[in-house]
Amino acid sequence: MITLGITGSFSDLGGEFLPALPDWFYHDAAAALVVDGKVVAAVEEERLNRIKHTNKFPHHAARACLDLGGLRAADIDSVAFFFGEEYTDLELGYQYLEHPDEQIRSARELVTARLQESLGIDLPQEAITFVPHHVSHAFGTFADSGFDSGLAVVMDGNGESESISVFQGSAGGKLDLLKTYEVSRSLGHFYLATLPLLGFRRFDEYKVMGLAPYGDPDVYRADFDRHVQLLPDGEFQVAGDALLEHFLRRGYRPRRRGEPTRAEDANLAAALQQTLERVVMHLLRHWRDETGERRVCLSGGVAHNSSANGRLLASGTFDEVFVHPASHDAGAALGAAQSLQSAAGVFDSKRLRHVFLGPDVGSRDTVSASVRRWEPFVEWEPVESGSEAEVAAELIDDGRVIGWAWGRSEFGPRALGHRSILADPRLAENRDRVNAVVKKREEFRPFAPAVLREHLEEVFEIGHTRAPLDFMSYVVQVRKEWRDRLPAVVHVDGSARVQTVDSQHNPTFWRLIRGFHERTGVPVVLNTSFNNFAEPIVQTADDAIRCLATTALDALVLPGYVVRRRADLAEAILHSVPSLHPSAELRRVFRPGHHPAMRTVVTFHYAGARAVEVSPMLWDLLVDGGPGRRSLADLGVSGTEGENTRLVDELLHLWECRLVDLAP
C-alpha cells in the first residue's frame, strides 16, 4: 500500500487560487510517502520553493518523495490530507466570503485538481482521505515513539475545534481519545498573543525561549496569574486575548523590530515561558495519574518548546518521553499517511532513529557541476572522497565557521548534521560571530551542542527519564565542570539544547565530531541550521553555495570539495543576471510630496511585507529589461567605484535578503 500524505493549502507559485491568502492558512506545507507501513520519504515544501513556512500546495515535495521512493505517481493508492474535510470546507468558505468574485470549489475538488496539476494523476476522489488534524499529529508521534502503550498528547494553536487532545495509545496503533480542550484554551495562541509586545511575530516563538533565561519571571508573574487559572483534575483556563490590552494598560511599551532587547522584554519572555511550563506540567501530571501511563509522546507546535520539554524530562513525571522531531504541521503529513495505512491494517511501529528523509545533496560528480557553475563567486579545492569529515574537523579546530552539507536532508525544523553550520564550542566569540555576521540575528539566540552519544552523560546532566536526545528536542543542564569549556553553546542559565550523534544512524557527522574530539579532547561541536536570516535551511549544493556567498562563513564542505567565498564579489555581481524571488514583487509606491519610490516588496510574511526601496537603475534591470535577462554590466556599469559601488552593494543586499537571486 502506497500512501502520500500532504499538508499545505491549495495555491502554487504560478498563481494563487485565492488572492492574498493569509500566511497562517495551512502553513508548513510538506509531503510524506509511506509504503506498507514504512516511511520512505518526507520533505518540507519550503526546502524546495525557498519560502519559509510556506503554505503553498506541496508540488515540489510530493514529486521529490516519489523520486526518493523510485515510484511513479500512478503507483499511489491513497492520499491523506492533514485536516478534516468538513472543517477545511468551512475554512475555505470564510475565504470565499472575502473574495466574492472567485470560483467556489470544495476541498476535495481542490486536492484532486492540485494532484492532477502536480503529478499528472487523476485519482478518484474516494482515494483522498481527510484525517482530523490532531489525529494526524497524535498518530505520527505514537507510531514513531516505538511505544506499545502510552499517552499521546497534542498541543498546538488549534486543530479543528480543539487546541489540546489527549489520547491513550495501545498495541497495533490503536488510539483512544480521552479528552479535548477547546480553542479558547489554546496554549499555542496564548504564547503567540504576547509576541507583538516583544517585537516578534508568528513563527518567532522559539526566540522567546532564547530570551527567557535572561529575565526574571517573578517581575510579571502576577500579571500572567491574572490570566491563567490551574483548576482541579487537570483543568485550566487561559485568557490570551486579554494579555495585550492588560500590558498596554500597564504601560508596557512594545519593542520595535530591530531595537535592542530590554530588561522588561527578557522579564516578560521569562514569565511567559514559565507560565506555559506550569500549565503543561499541570495537564500532563493529571493524565499520568488518571491513566497510570508512565510513557508519553508529544506533538503539535507547542511540543517544539524545548525548554518545556526539558522541564518535563528533568521532573521525572514519566519514565519515558518521546517528542516528535517534526511536531509542527509539516509533520502532520507523515502522521496522516501513517494513520491512513493503519486504518487499512498496515501498521509498523518502531522507534524513530533519524529523520534524514529528504533529497540527497548529491555525489561528488553532482556537486562538482554546482561548484564549477559558481566559480565567479567561489574558490574551491577537491578533497579525497571519504575524508570530508576529517577535513571539516580540522577547519573547526582551526577556528573556522563552516557550512556542512551531506547526504539526505532532515525532515523538520532542526539541522541535525546534514545541513548545518558548525563551529568550535570552546570559543565564546563564535556565538557572537555566528549571530551577528553569519545568521544576522538577535544577539541572545543560543546555539545547540552536538555531542557524541557515548560522551553524553560526561558533559550533560541527564536524569532517569528515558528519551531519545537525537533531535534537539530538550533543553538540559550542562555539567558545571564543562560550562567554561563550552561557552559558545552554554546558555546564560547553564543550559543547552542538546543533540546526541551516534555512529549507526548519523555516521559521517559522528566521524566529524570524533575527529574534533581527537584533536581537542572535546566531544562537542556547535551546530546550527545552515541558512541565513531570510531563507529556509539549504537543500541543494547550489543553495549551500548561495548561502556561503552571502554570509561570512569561512568555508563550505561538500562531498569531494572545500569551497570558499572569493574576497571580492564585485565583478561577479556586475556580470550576474538577477531575477526576482518567486515570493517577491516589484511595484511603484507613490507618496504625497515625494518622488515615486520604487520598491521591492516581499509578499511572504517572514519579512513582514517590508518594502525595500531600489534605485532607478535596478528598477530598470528588474522590470524594463526583464528579470533573468540582463546584468548590470549589460546596462553599461563597469568598475566598482563611486555610484557603481553603491549599485553592487544594493544588489548584494537584495540577494542577501533573498528578494532577488543572482545566477552566475
Q: How far apart are CA 450 and CA 511, in angstroms?
A: 12
The alpha-carbon radius of gyration of the chain (Å, integer) is: 25
Q: What DSSP assignment string belongs to 339-372?
A: HHHHHTT----------EEEEE---HHHHHHHHH
Q: Measured between alpha carbons, how far is 621 from 633 in angstroms, rounded to an integer?
A: 10
Q: Which three cell numbers stand for residue 248?
A: 498596554
CA atoms within 13 A on the CB side of 39: 28
Instruction: Report the catalytic residues.
Output: 27
- φ and ψ of 105, to 5 deg: -135, 145
Cα gap 21→51, rounded to integer Å: 14
- DSSP summary character for residue 436: I
Cell numbers placing 155: 498541543
CA triple 432-442-402, angle to 5 deg: 45
Query: 438: which DSSP letter?
Result: I
- Could you identify the residue written with the cell 543560543? 446
Residue 361: φ, ψ to 5°: -70, -20
The CA distance from 474 to 456, in Å, is: 13
Which residues neighbour 197 within 8 Å (Cβ) at sequence distance 6 or greater?
A: 244, 247, 252, 254, 255, 265, 268
Residue 489 phi, psi dihedral angles, 5° rounding:
-125, -5
Could you give the C-alpha distances from 222 to 191, 244, 261, 314, 333, in angstroms and in order?
16, 15, 22, 25, 40
